[in-house]
Structure 1
Amino acid sequence: MTRDERGAGSLLVMAFLSLLLLVGSALGVVAAMVGAHRIAQSAADLAALAAAVDLQEGADACAAASRIAGANHARLSSCTVQGEEVVVVVTVAGPRWLGQSSDLSARARAGPG
């Protein structure tokens, strides 16, 4: 090894470690987004089911949907009663990494039949 080649291995290792860190960060963001969407979908499903039950009992379906969505760390964005069915849309905060600033939403429908 000549004197001019000293430290070349260190630069190569640092470049690979930087690439590994970048890929790991990107995978972390994707995993956080998938997890947040799963939470949103679960909250929407539960809120729609609770709303459908309350609608069948003659109670305020959208109030039940809002209560259940809040209990599942989500916010009720919309609630629509269509005959005997209820359609809800809930929103959860998305990850705020690497410039991601939007929230994630999910939609669910429930009713008899």
Structure 2
Amino acid sequence: MTTTRRGGERGAATVLVVSLSAVLLLVGSGLGVVAAMVVDHRRAQAAADLAALAGASELGRGGDACRAAGAVAERNGGALTGCTLEGRDVLVAVTVSGPRWLGQTGDLSARARAGPASPPE
């Protein structure tokens, strides 16, 4: 039994492999951007949490809470974009530069609040 190939189908597998490779590359790049955004958002949240805790600690000692929060946010790769005091609570907003892949230009931000524990009721 002999098999004959038609001339019109020659190279069709190559085109299919190249097309599927391009789709996989595009999907992989998109997933890479999403993963980088998740990591940077977690970094922003960690910086905000630590900055709020540092600010609350400094406020408890009678110092400048926002200056302490800003210093801690900067040491953790963020920039303090907001700091307010509500009674004995410190509210901070921190921004971290996001990934710059595939035209993505947004920065990621996070907020945190810290203060003394409320007494149980």
So what's the TM-score if we normalise by structure 2?
A: 0.92
- Counterpart Cα distance in 2 of 1:99 and 1:79: 30
- Deviation of the 1:99 alpha carbon: 1.6
Q: 2:98 aligns with which of 89, 94, 98?
A: 94
User: Greater Rg, structure 1 or structure 2?
Assistant: 2
Task: Quote the residue 2:43 is aligned against.
Answer: 39
SS at match of 1:50: helix
Structure 2: gaps (5+ residues): none
Structure 1: gaps (5+ residues): none
- Deviation of the 1:92 alpha carbon: 0.2
Which AA in structure 1 matches 2:63?
A: A
- Number of residues paired by the alignment? 113
Superposed, 1:14-53 pairs within 5 Å as 14-53=18-57
Residue by residue, what CA displacement relative to the aligned partner does 1:51-77 show, whole Å, maximum 9, x if unpaired?
000001000000000000000000000
- Deviation of the 1:100 alpha carbon: 1.0
- Asked if 1:103 corresponds to 2:110, the answer is no
- Asked if 1:67 corresponds to 2:96, the answer is no
Moved over 4 A (4+): none
- Deviation of the 1:5 alpha carbon: 1.1
Q: Which has the larger displacement, 1-10 or 63-72?
A: 1-10
Q: State the percentage of identical aligned residues.
A: 60
- Counterpart Cα distance in 1 of 2:10 and 2:84: 69
Which AA in structure 2 matches 1:20?
A: L
- Counterpart Cα distance in 2 of 1:98 and 1:30: 11
Residue by residue, what CA displacement relative to the aligned partner does 1:3-30 show, whole Å, maximum 9, x if unpaired?
1111110000001101100110010000
